[in-house]
């Protein structure tokens, strides 16, 4: 196969929102470049994957590995073997991965073993919580990558602290926010709140899926109790992740009773429906990483049910409040809402053009490997390598 190809590997729904802007922008800036989209199938339900491909203007995956669920080791191993086979067959000049899921690390490792360069979208995020499996994934992926695409100064600082070569680091902004800006109008046109007979601003949105929470029956039970009490404040829309649904069923929670209390449980939602609800919610309660970022764009209060966040910029400049992992903290939300909070401050480079900047970095990298000069200078592109002294764009 031609080496004039780039392989994008995605596995879980957040990967699609992060990779899609880069995929589209690279197709525009490098029209002769063959783009290969590999979906590992880590998220395999239609609501968790196929609908995201369609709604984010991505083509159907060229390869669907179908690795499915399993332990962290099983998922990583299956993705590693599957991606390696694709890379041996296709021999791309670059592999692009996003985020911090098991598929991300597996693809980066497969490429590294075959001496194929790796570009990592969302490099440098650190929670400094070694109990999070994602923390190992993101650290290892960064150290396997030749192109590190960071979304904030804090992410850049983390990479420099770990002695990663500065010339590999590029501060390009947040590609997930690109997806928000691109699709928000279409999401609002769908009026997803109407299917629940709700009005904009008259409900809150809940998402819970992390194993540390939902795999502990006692902790999950206490969380559901606190969520049901929160529904006294206003109706809660709760799209249930398949993993969470199975765990809730195992605890014997009465879903009908929850609905009577105002907790509106639904199956997982497509990207546009979820984005529309997110943008018009009075607030969001989550243990997700990406939701912390997405809510900052439309200036919606976010309460994160975790002890740490790898996205501190959402607390410093955005709308995010880290509650802690104790379900009792949920009961503080009404008071926190009454106290109010400063509106989100514009976060540098979270402007809807991060995908363009990432594509320019990748194009320049591919050009240098082919021995041709980049068509535009770093100054013209508005990007550049990161110096140790500044941590800013040159």
Q: How far apart are CA 176 and CA 172, in angstroms?
A: 12
pLDDT at 259: 87
In 3D space, the residue among 34, 26, 24 whose CA is nearest the CA of residue 57 turns out to be 24
Beta bridge partners of 278: none
User: Which residues are catalytically annotated?
Assistant: 209
Q: How far apart are CA 292 and CA 322, in angstroms?
A: 10
Q: Which residues contact 267 (CB under 8 A, 6 or more apart)?
A: 47, 239, 240
Q: How far apart are CA 152 and CA 208, in angstroms?
A: 26
Per-residue pLDDT of the chain (394 residues; tens, 9 = 90+): 445 899 999 998 899 999 999 999 999 999 999 999 999 986 545 454 567 677 898 999 999 998 887 888 999 999 999 999 999 999 999 999 999 999 999 999 999 999 999 999 999 999 999 989 999 999 999 999 999 999 999 999 999 999 999 999 999 999 999 999 999 999 999 999 999 999 999 999 999 988 888 888 889 999 999 999 999 999 999 998 777 878 888 888 887 888 889 999 998 899 999 999 999 999 999 999 999 999 999 999 999 999 999 999 999 999 999 999 999 999 999 999 998 776 678 899 999 999 999 999 999 999 987 765 444 444 454 555 553 323 222 2
Q: Which residues contact 381 (CB under 8 A, 6 or more apart)?
A: 357, 360, 361, 364
- C-alpha separations of 212 from 131, 239, 384 in Å: 9, 19, 38
- What does the H/E/C string look like for 109-127? HHHHHCCCCEEEEEECCCC
Q: How far apart are CA 300 and CA 309, in angstroms?
A: 18
């Amino acid at each position: 196969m031609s080496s004039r190809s780039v392989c994008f590997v995605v596995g879980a729904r957040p990967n699609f929102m992060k990779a899609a802007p880069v995929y589209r922008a690279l197709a525009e800036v490098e029209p002769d470049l063959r783009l290969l989209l590999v979906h590992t199938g880590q998220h395999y339900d239609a609501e968790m994957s196929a609908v995201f491909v369609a709604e984010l203007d991505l083509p159907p995956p060229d390869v669907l590995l179908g690795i499915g669920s399993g332990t962290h080791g099983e998922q990583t191993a299956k993705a590693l073997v599957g991606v390696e086979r694709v890379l041996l067959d296709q021999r791309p000049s670059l592999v692009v991965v996003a985020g911090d899921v098991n598929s991300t690390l597996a693809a980066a490792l497969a490429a590294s073993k075959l001496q194929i360069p790796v570009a990592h979208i969302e490099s440098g995020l650190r929670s400094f919580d070694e109990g999070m499996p994602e923390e190992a994934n993101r650290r290892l992926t960064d150290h396997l990558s030749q192109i590190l695409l960071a979304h904030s100064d804090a992410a850049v600082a983390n990479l420099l602290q770990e002695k990663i070569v500065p010339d590999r680091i590029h501060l390009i902004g947040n590609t997930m926010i690109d997806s928000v800006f691109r699709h928000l109008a279409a999401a609002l046109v769908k009026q997803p709140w109407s299917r629940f007979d709700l009005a904009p601003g008259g409900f809150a949105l809940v998402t819970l899926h992390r194993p540390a929470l939902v795999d502990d029956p006692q902790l999950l039970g206490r969380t559901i109790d606190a969520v049901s009490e929160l529904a006294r404040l206003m109706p809660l829309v709760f799209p249930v992740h398949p993993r969470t649904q199975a765990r809730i069923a195992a605890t014997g929670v009465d879903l009908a009773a929850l609905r009577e209390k105002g907790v509106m449980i639904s199956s997982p939602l497509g990207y546009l429906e979820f984005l529309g609800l997110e943008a018009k919610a009075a607030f969001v309660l989550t243990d997700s990483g990406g939701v912390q970022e997405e809510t900052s764009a439309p200036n919606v209060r976010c309460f994160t049910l975790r002890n740490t966040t790898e996205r501190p910029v959402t607390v410093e400049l955005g709308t995010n409040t880290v509650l802690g992992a104790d379900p009792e903290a949920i009961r503080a939300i009404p008071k926190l809402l009454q106290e109010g909070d400063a509106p989100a401050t514009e976060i540098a480079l979270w402007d809807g053009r991060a995908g363009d900047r990432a594509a320019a970095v990748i194009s320049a990298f591919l050009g240098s490997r082919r021995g041709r000069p980049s068509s535009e200078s770093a100054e013209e592109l508005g990007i550049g390598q990161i110096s140790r002294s500044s941590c800013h764009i040159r």
